[in-house]
Amino acid sequence: MDQTLHSDLRTYGIVGNGRVATHFAHYFGLLGIPFRQWSRASAAMMGVDPTPMLRETMQDCTHILLLIKDTEIEPFIRTNPCVQSKKLVHCSGSLVTELAVGYHPLFSFSHTLYDQATYESIPMICDAGGPSFKDAFPLLPNPSITIGPSLKPYYHALCVLSGNFTTLVWQKTFKEFESRLGIPHDCASLYLRSIVHNLIQSPTDALTGPLARKDTGTIRSNLAALEGDPYVRLYEAMLEIVEPGRMKEKES
pLDDT tens, per residue, the chain with 252 residues:
444 444 457 899 999 999 999 999 999 999 999 999 999 999 899 999 999 999 999 999 999 999 999 999 999 999 999 999 999 999 999 999 999 999 999 999 999 999 999 999 999 999 999 999 999 999 999 999 999 999 999 999 999 999 999 999 999 999 999 999 999 999 999 999 999 999 999 999 999 999 999 899 999 999 999 999 999 999 999 999 988 866 555 554
Nearest CA-CA partner of 93 in 155, 15, 17: 155
Residue 131, helix vs strand vs coil: coil
Residue 94, helix vs strand vs coil: coil
Contact call for residues 3 and 32 (beta carbons, < 8 A): yes
pTM assigned to the model: 0.87
In the chain, where are the structural domains located?
A: 12-147, 154-251
**Looking at the domain that runs over 154-251, which CATH code has it been given?**
1.10.1040.20
Contact call for residues 11 and 36 (beta carbons, < 8 A): yes
- State the fold for domain 12-147: Rossmann fold (3.40.50)
Whole-number Å distance between alpha carbons of 116 and 24 = 11
What's the helix, strand, coil split of the chain in %, to 5? 55, 10, 35
Whole-number Å distance between alpha carbons of 232 and 217 = 16
